[in-house]
Amino acid sequence: MSLLRPLVLASLLLFAAPSWAAEHQHQHGGGQDAKRSGCAPENTALACAQVASPAFLADGSLALAWAAGGRVMLARSTDLGASFQPAVAVNGGPEAVDVSGDSRPAVAADSKGRVFVAWSVRKDSAYNGTLFLARSTDGGASFMPPRHVASDPSSQRFTVLRTDARDRLYMAWIDKREGTAAKKAGQAYRGAALAVAWSDDGAETFAFEGIAQSNSCECCRIAFDFDKTGRPLVMWRHVFEPNIRDHALMVFADRDKPGSIRKVAEDNWRVDACPHHGPALAAAADGSVHAAWYTAGTARKGVFYARAAGPDAAFSEPRPLGNPATTVSHPQVLALKGRLWMAWKEFDGETTTVQAQVSDDSGRTWSQPKGLARTTDASDRPILLGNGAQAFLSWMTAAEGWRLVAVE
């Protein structure tokens, strides 16, 4: 089994970094809300952001999106984050960009050099948002005016963007149109809904936009990947009857048809609350599917991993991740070049460490956990990503700023 060797490629505080609120445990599962203080309201610097979302572009450069000063910003790096070109504003003006909990700007790119950024704007105090999408045809140097994607205005949050091998852009988000309609009709409705959309012309038009599955959790991020045939796989926290917030997996019947759903595991988490703790999903080249998630169910509590031999196969018995003496949270999983990586956060009461494991046999066995990065202040959730040849950890912390760590 190969050992993990972290190499810090970049650690950036663009301009003087203000202080963040002291790190504290999230309501469910030990994540941390990273809140900036000391920034002027109009400051759009990365140092004033709570979260950052990375994506590698077709030319190998790195795009980093964040929200600060009411603006959604994007900057490009050609040296793996050691330096960045001047950031450009993606949205038209200051607005209440939704960056709380699992919500953040999402970024994706295709092989034609187009870059896509999606975000939600909070429109009231009832946790409702409006989804916007902006696209760039020049590699992120400039963006066209943002547009709406959803056909219903009720609420859209927690958006994920992905492009497939044929440059189709997929979007998925948590949508409240069905719940709003049910309330008007005097009917009960569990949670929210999973909405999807896709475009074959670089987001000029959308071939489909609508609800793929009713009764999702209202407040957890979505995990999205493609199996080896190109079919989308979507994992999210669902609200099964009567109030069980376990994770569901949807395998599209084909590229154009959302499929049925099944439970990833029988956790039996009965709660009428928002965990703000979404799952992770990766589909490997050998056809296997890998999932990681947090639960506080009666069957098990903590962060867990399971694998399936294929998209339609049963998942293995979940195995716990992390040191049980710490608060373990926000797992990530990445499949790249026949290998798998997992990462998660551990908080021991003073220090948060991103731990990671690697597998060379499709998740059957894993290396011992190794610390990739740590902080003693507030921090965002870790993000694993790859550029086709190398795996990386992207992490934003209050004290150290944004950093990119090569995982070897």
pLDDT in tens, 378-398: 999 999 999 999 999 999 999
Q: Which domains does the chain have, with CATH numbers?
A: 6-407 (2.120.10.10)
Q: Stretch 357-379: mean pLDDT, rounded?
A: 98
Q: What pLDDT score was predicted for residue 100? A: 78
Rounded Cα gap, residues 331 and 382, in angstroms: 8
Q: Which among 7, 41, 35, 32 is positioned nearest to 19, based on CA atoms?
A: 35
pLDDT at 53 over 80: yes
Structure tokens given for 162: 């992905």
Q: Which residues pair with 269 in a beta bridge?
A: none
- Residues 137, 141: Cα–Cα separation, whole Å: 8
Q: How confident is the model at residue 12 (pLDDT cuts 50, 70, 90)?
A: low
Are 132 and 106 contacting, i.e. CB atoms less than 8 angstroms apart? Answer: no
Burial 238-263 (b: 16+ CB within 10 A, else e): bbbeeebbbbbbbbbeebeebbebee
The whole model's pTM is what? 0.93
Given a cut of 90, whether residue 148 has pLDDT beyond it is yes
Amino acid at 241: E
Q: List C-alpha distances in Å: 350 to 87, 198, 208, 399.
A: 34, 43, 47, 14
Per-residue pLDDT at 144:
98
Residue 35 has pLDDT above 80, yes or no: no
Confidence of residue 39 (pLDDT cuts 50, 70, 90): confident
Q: Token pair of 197, please?
A: 């959309």
Alpha carbons 274 and 251: distance in angstroms, whole number: 25
Residue 4: the pLDDT is: 61
C-alpha 214/C-alpha 82 separation (Å) is: 43
Question: Angle 25-367-320 (CA atoms, 0-180°, nearest 5)?
Answer: 40
pLDDT range class, residue 214, cuts 50, 70, 90: very high
Average pLDDT of the segment spanning 329-342: 98
pLDDT value of position 165: 97
| Residue type at position 266 | E
Cβ proximity of 266 and 290 under 8 Å: no
Model pLDDT, residue 28: 33
Q: Which of 381, 321, 371 is nearest to 8 (CA)?
A: 371
Q: Are the beta carbons of 25 and 345 closer than 8 angstroms?
A: no
Q: Give the pLDDT band (50/70/90) at residue 97.
A: very high
**CA distance to 18, 192, 326, 378, 403, per residue, from 394 (Å):** 20, 30, 22, 15, 6
| Structure token digits, residue 30 | 């030990």
3 state SS of 58: coil
Query: What is the DSSP track for 305-320?
Result: EEEESSTTSPBPPPEE
Token pair, residue 113, equals: 């050099």
Mean pLDDT of 170-174: 99
Q: How far apart are CA 238 and CA 76, in angstroms?
A: 36
- 15's tokens: 């301009």
Whether residue 26 is predicted with pLDDT greater than 50 in this model: the reply is: no
State how far the Cα of 50 lies from the Cα of 21, in Å rounded to an integer. 11
Q: Which two tokens stand for residue 353?
A: 């460490």
CB 160 within 8 A of CB 174: no
Q: In what order do the strands lie in the sheet with 129-136?
A: 106-109, 115-122, 129-136
For residue 205, pLDDT beyond 70: yes
